[in-house]
Amino acid sequence: MVVRAARTADIRAIRAIVAPMAESRVLIAKEAVTYYESVQQFRVAEIDGRVVGCGALHVMWEDLAEIRTLAVLPETKGAGVGSRLLEALVDDARELGVQRLFCLTFEVDFFRRHGFEPIEGQAVEPAVYAELLRSYDEGVAEFLDLERVKPNTLGNTRMLRQF
């Protein structure tokens, strides 16, 4: 297995991996343009030249980033693809100087095994919260637990990992 930075040519495969999970509301559906705009945030996992998983790191603040769109093909689940992708994204976060990673997930046990813990309330101080309110990004709104995104977050657990 190879984990590498995503390229624009990988977006079709990423969307195909994510589509069934978005249809079942495990992941949020996004337009194709959103993936292209954020391709530099993604890593992909390949087995024999085929993209079998993806994940993204979205920086939200000086010391905070979110793990997004971590997904693998069903036939590779349990083979360590998700773990390898998450490890690569954690390495990326460290390289950027991020000290805390957030995720919104149904896969609580998976993320707990990787050092994430469930959180309640806000994980940022009030001044940072006020700045983040200015973001147009829906993932930031989910992190802030804003009322308008509650339908997107039902059943998910907010988790945090600190380095």
Residue 152: per-residue pLDDT? 61
User: Half-sphere exposure of residue 17, counting CA atoms within 13 Å on the CB side?
Assistant: 26
Contact criterion met (CB below 8 Å) for 142 and 153: yes
Residue 138: per-residue pLDDT? 76
Residue 149: per-residue pLDDT? 65
Q: What is the pTM of this model?
A: 0.89
Q: Which of 72, 162, 69, 153 is nearest to 123 (CA)?
A: 162
Work out whether the CA dihedral 15, 64, 134, 118 comes out positive or negative: positive
Q: What is the DSSP letter of 10?
A: G
Residues 49 and 66: their CA atoms lie apart, in Å, by 27
Contact criterion met (CB below 8 Å) for 134 and 144: no
Give me the CATH code for the 2-162 domain, please: 3.40.630.30
- pLDDT tens for the chain, residues 1 to 163: 999 999 999 999 999 999 999 999 888 889 999 999 999 999 999 999 999 999 999 999 999 999 999 999 999 999 999 999 999 999 999 999 999 999 989 999 999 999 999 988 777 777 887 888 888 877 787 777 777 766 666 678 999 999 9
